[in-house]
Structure 1
């Protein structure tokens, strides 16, 4: 048997848990982008490609579409909570972050309409819990006399604005969201992700 020389290439290092955390974060970011561009029914393979990983990696982290969607929702809510917890947080600023998520994430809009979005009670319970966390983050910044200070006004307004966030491009969706907030008499800060 003839042995062929093996090129002197080192095998890439296995980064173990570091790579797993990095891959998961890349998959969540990719899912957010893919859902914004193509909707919730986009192929999971598109998410894996956008994240730069194989489908096997995607399925190691997320066994199905619901798990991917849930991870995107969870990350959206965490970002809103971080924006609300920032030292210089204002109601308008937190609403700007919320509006960015509405513009970017069809899954997030589904969360805000959880009672009609699905009939699976486990998903409804999870979505309602996330929705309550969003309300808590926002409510902490409502000044006295704010138009949304009423008991159920805040999340009703968020649901109304989310219903207006339609359109073929991010720009159109953002314009419609801002128009809806304006019609409600609510000031919204810059529409951007939380950077903190």
Structure 2
């Protein structure tokens, strides 16, 4: 699989401070986290580690990703920001993944999971994005959703309604998220929204590393 080509020894982006109480060698934890974020379900990651002679439970691998607390970091200045949301299924419940993407680099700037999509939650998302990045002079590329336009206008941020061109970057990212979540639907079957959001943030960090 092409995702395996993106795995390498550079795992400095994974904070292993939580390893103080871990009995597993750091290199095994790093490999498990990368495999799960890049291409494999937790069950398949467990099997892959077993082929290498390492016996660890699915719960242990799940906890590695959660404890690493990976989130997109670093302040950036972008001329354009692609903004959109998509539905993520958590068991029988539907949640909305909000994402802001730099269309020049295809990197996530911010991700959040909300129980619905409306102007109020969009405003919360944009306020958090503003705290992390210098986007006051950016132009937001959006579809024609009223709640996106209302929240951007409320904050005095510029936007263009686009269905093609640069805004396609966020659609490409969402397709990859959908591919990954559908390939291990069991992971999101019985989890809290905060757990799913934590995984999505970790995925965003891995994705950004692949774009650089």
**TM-score of the alignment, normalized to the shorter chain, above 0.5:** no
Structure with the largest fraction of helix? 1
Structure 1 length normalisation: TM-score? Answer: 0.35
Structure with the largest fraction of strand? 2
Higher CA-based Rg: 1
Structure 2 length normalisation: TM-score? Answer: 0.33
